[in-house]
Structure 1
Amino acid sequence: MTQHSEPARQPSTTRVTLRGPAELIDSLPYLLGYHPDDSIVLVGLHGPNGRFGGRLRVGIPAREEGWPDIAEQLADCLRGSSSARGDRPDGALVFLCQDPADGGSGRAVMERLRPLAQRLRTACGALDMPVYEALCVSGGRYWSYCCPGSGCCPADGTPVGVPGTSVMAAAATYAGVRVEGSLKELTARLAPLGPPVAEPQELALDLAGTALVPRMLGEVDRQTVRAETLALAQRLLDRYRAAPTADLRAGRARADARDDGLLSHEEAATLILGLQDRVARDWAAEWMEGADAAPALRLWRALARRCVGAYAEHAAAPLTLAGWVAWASGDEPGARVALGRALDLDPEYVFARLLHSACNSGLDPEPLRQCLRRQRAERTSRAATARN
């Protein structure tokens, strides 16, 4: 099978031609910005040459009962997000990426996921988006669910090949498209910290909640808490800005650990709880560009990691802020991971839902940036008037 595509997120008109399933699979990290794992990936195809369009990724539901619903939702979302841009898909590609558990085999994974692949093919076909290829990638091998007969492909699958050797990889590398690692690695940067940090952090959150929550429920004190939250965030932002930028060649885990060390338990707890207020969170979203963006992203990630124990769902606010700053800075893969994690914790978190939908639809973040700039200018003007 031959598909034509452009390197992900590049406006260039350079085209590359992908021939066969192995090259399609090797293109995935460049389309998504990371190596998908435990994932359903749908890619829209447009025109007679199969130009790549919109792409969607979700985790594979563990329970088979959820497969029919997720198949219909994904097909509808792929068609809807593309149609909103005036470019309805003419077809689709399906990828099921899941490595076998210890002692398992890729072939067993492929057979277990076969009904899911069929559900996805049926759901896309019902919306006039025929699936031209559906691949299972597991244990370094792949299988096609679209083979015309049992003798078409090896029973034990075909080796995926050496990653990064396709023409797509070469074109994407030349164009400056980076792959940030695996989805698991990106998600791990946002996961709650464990011992020895978790226990004292949860205690600090308990104490901060006792002090702050009653104040946040009163109208007068609520305004004061918002101002205190913003002031604390500004101090911490200055601290992160002043800290030397970590050398990522030493590893992201080490860089994150250093960022974690810049926060006390009490500071993290106070800011996490303060950001549960929607207005305070929206003010914090104003730190999104220029010299603010990088330290703000580090701060929001560090706060998300401090949402431990019973406070896990409180991470929806800092995760959404991290997703927003990443998207505003051009890091769409990082934005999708952070916003997806926020929605895993709280599916009804409206700000995360709106940002996630906009990012996945390929919209430009500039209109929201303009809105937040106006909001910041107006708030600054009001504060100056009040002082005078």
Structure 2
Amino acid sequence: MNAHNDPTGPQSASASGGALPVSTTGFTDEPRITLRGPAELADALPYTLGFHPTDSVVLLALHGERGRFGGRLRLGIPSSPREWAPVAEQLAECLVEGCERRGARPDGVVVFLCQDPAEGESGRRVMERLRPFAQKLRTACGALDVPVYEALCLSDGRFWSYCCPDSDCCPPDGTALAPPGTSVMAAAAAYAGIHVRGSLRDMEARLRPRTARATVAEQERALDTASAALVRRILDTEARKDVRDDTIRLARRLVDRLAEHPPLADQDTSDTRDDALITHEEAAELIVGLQDRRTRDRAAEWMEGSEADHALRLWRALARRCVGVYGEHAAAPLTLAGWVSWSTADEPAARVALGLALEADPEYVFARLLHQACNEQLDPETLRECLRGERDARTKAEARRGSGTRPAGRGTGARGVRRRLRARVGRPRGTAQGAPATGPGPGTGTRADRRTGLREPCGTREGGPSGAAEADGSDRGSAR
């Protein structure tokens, strides 16, 4: 049993039941943070991820006698209890293997189950409903000789411990979470300049397709028209270059248009205004054009400075326009949004965008490589160098106006990025998730048929049964 009610210091229970002291290293070398008990663990969770997880299972690895935070992994809670056992085993294996690749097998794990109550449901009912999942996670970690030191359920502003049977310490109705900004972790985060951006649901909402019926109908018609006009030209060797050039010119015009309208303070209002600045036809032409990976590679060059900020707004707006049967097309703009976020040091936003890209298309290689590289905290600068090199080479070729031939053997552009990513992270790890359904779409053939030749070939898939898992190997604090 965890010593939740022990007032002598920051203690919890080891696998053998003894006290395990806690010492915490903060977000950089300072400050050092000590988390005492489940209340401070629950409060620390959004600061370790950069957002408030919603409908999520989170695993945090602990290292050493003092429980230093190590790798972390987040996944959407599977809706079907039948998935809980295989998901639990997969998450435990993924966390342990990821920590071992970074050089240290975890000594323990903290589990969080975060889910808001459904209508008419209480937080306590959520906790009881998820109890079997918590037990399967504890069993899966224990089978790998990695004990779960604490398992918490966070729901409706309260938390419950699955490990502590002491009602005096952990009452049946749960314990209220600390008010935002009042904990030791909040103070340390403010000192380190780290901010929590709101909930995962809010972050995803900025990237998910709009659902207003009239908007969906108009945008889907525009996408039908653009697909009929462009897909065959993209697949035609002679016409392909013209389509690529036209797509990049359109993207450049839209980036410049957004730059003329600075973002507003309210995110929802700002996103709505950005949507209004782009017509359905412009969005459709650009979405379809970006299905060609070389066009997408060129668009990935807008990754630094103010240009990156404006491009990110465009990629988000395009992801919101991938409506109806064109949901899979969102993988391209979502991947670009994830790349720009990672390139500009916004790792939480990058993981969210790349996770949604893999949800849209689990076989999208560039998203999987970037997702894994971001999770393993590689330095994006080496990848930015590839894109700078591609841009410089193309500029010189255009200046010569005669050759247009790149220097032999140069691995630049996002093709070079993919090569370097593969060299750094290896082949993207596959999981048990199947391919998304590809039902009939408008026009001739299925959605998969329309995209033939535009997708990157791949034989493995990433993501758990409820989407792509997000792992993070950083050390931003510790607990036990």
3-state SS of paired residue (1:18): coil
| Residue 62 of structure 1 pairs with residue 101 of structure 2 | no
| Residue 325 of structure 1 pairs with residue 344 of structure 2 | no
**1:1-388 → structure 2 map (5 Å cutoff):** 1=12, 3-7=22-26, 10-148=27-165, 153-195=170-212, 196-243=214-261, 245-248=262-265, 251-387=266-402
Cα deviation, 1:137-156, whole Å, max 9, x if unaligned, reads 11222111112567763222
**Percent of aligned positions with the same letter in both sequences?**
62
Q: Indicate conservation of the 8 Å contact 2:264/2:270, yes or no.
A: yes
Structure 1 residue 181: Cα displacement: 0.6
3-state SS of paired residue (2:333): helix
Partner AA of 2:42 in structure 1: I
Cα deviation, 1:190-216, whole Å, max 9, x if unaligned, reads 121233422211111111111101111
- Whole-Å separation in 2 of the counterparts to 1:166 and 1:95: 18
Q: Indicate conservation of the 8 Å contact 1:288/1:329, yes or no.
A: yes
Segment drifting more, 310-319 vs 189-198: 189-198
Structure 1 residue 387: Cα displacement: 5.0
3-state SS of paired residue (2:35): strand
Cα deviation, 1:316-335, whole Å, max 9, x if unaligned, reads 11001001100111111111
Q: Indicate conservation of the 8 Å contact 1:54/1:361, yes or no.
A: no
Partner AA of 1:5 in structure 2: T
Q: Indicate conservation of the 8 Å contact 1:198/1:308, yes or no.
A: yes
Structure 1 residue 14: Cα displacement: 2.2
- Whole-Å separation in 2 of the counterparts to 1:303 and 1:180: 22
Higher helix share: 1
Aligned length: 383
Partner AA of 1:140 in structure 2: G
Structure 1 residue 373: Cα displacement: 1.6
Q: Residues 235 and 54 (structure 1 numbering): CA distance in 2 closer, same or farther, change over 3 Å?
A: same
3-state SS of paired residue (1:181): coil
Q: Residues 254 and 6 (structure 1 numbering): CA distance in 2 closer, same or farther, change over 3 Å?
A: farther
Partner AA of 2:23 in structure 1: H
Q: Indicate conservation of the 8 Å contact 2:85/2:136, yes or no.
A: yes
- Whole-Å separation in 2 of the counterparts to 1:198 and 1:122: 45
Partner AA of 1:363 in structure 2: L
- Whole-Å separation in 2 of the counterparts to 1:167 and 1:153: 21
Relative to the length of structure 1, the TM-score reads 0.94
- Whole-Å separation in 1 of the counterparts to 2:132 and 2:393: 55
Segment drifting more, 225-234 vs 77-86: 77-86
- Whole-Å separation in 2 of the counterparts to 1:363 and 1:78: 17
Structure 1 residue 382: Cα displacement: 2.4
- Whole-Å separation in 1 of the counterparts to 2:258 and 2:230: 25
Structure 1 residue 17: Cα displacement: 0.5
- Whole-Å separation in 2 of the counterparts to 1:370 and 1:216: 28
Structure 1 residue 35: Cα displacement: 0.7
- Whole-Å separation in 2 of the counterparts to 1:113 and 1:323: 31
Partner AA of 1:383 in structure 2: E
Relative to the length of structure 2, the TM-score reads 0.77
Query: Structure 2: any 5+ residue segments left out of the alignment?
Result: 1-11, 13-20, 404-480
Q: CA RMSD in A?
A: 1.7
- Whole-Å separation in 2 of the counterparts to 1:102 and 1:117: 23
Structure 1 residue 87: Cα displacement: 3.0
